[in-house]
Amino acid sequence: MDTATVQCPYCGEPLDVFIDRSVPRQEYIEDCQVCCRPMTLVVSVDPDDDGAAYVDARSEEE
């Protein structure tokens, strides 16, 4: 498992998230470690870019 850093869409704090590079695309909900609000994390792994992982944190609340 690798980790990546994303910014919380609510409070803006940087968070460390775990990434499983064997899954090319995954989406899951995780609570912010700082403000405890749920966010959707979208992880994409690019096999053409040496398995580089990109993480997008989206707000669950509008």
Q: Which of 10, 26, 30, 40 binds Zn ion (CB under 5 A)?
A: 10
CB nearer to Zn ion: give 4 or 32: 32
**Tokens 């609570």 sit on residue:** 31
Distance (Å, whole) CA 15 – CA 4:
8
Which residues ranging from 26 to 55 are in contact with Zn ion (CB under 5 A)? 32, 34-35
Sole window of 8-16, 17-25, 41-49, 51-59 interacting with Zn ion (rule: CB under 5 A): 8-16
| Residues binding Zn ion (CB under 5 A) | 8, 10-11, 32, 34-35
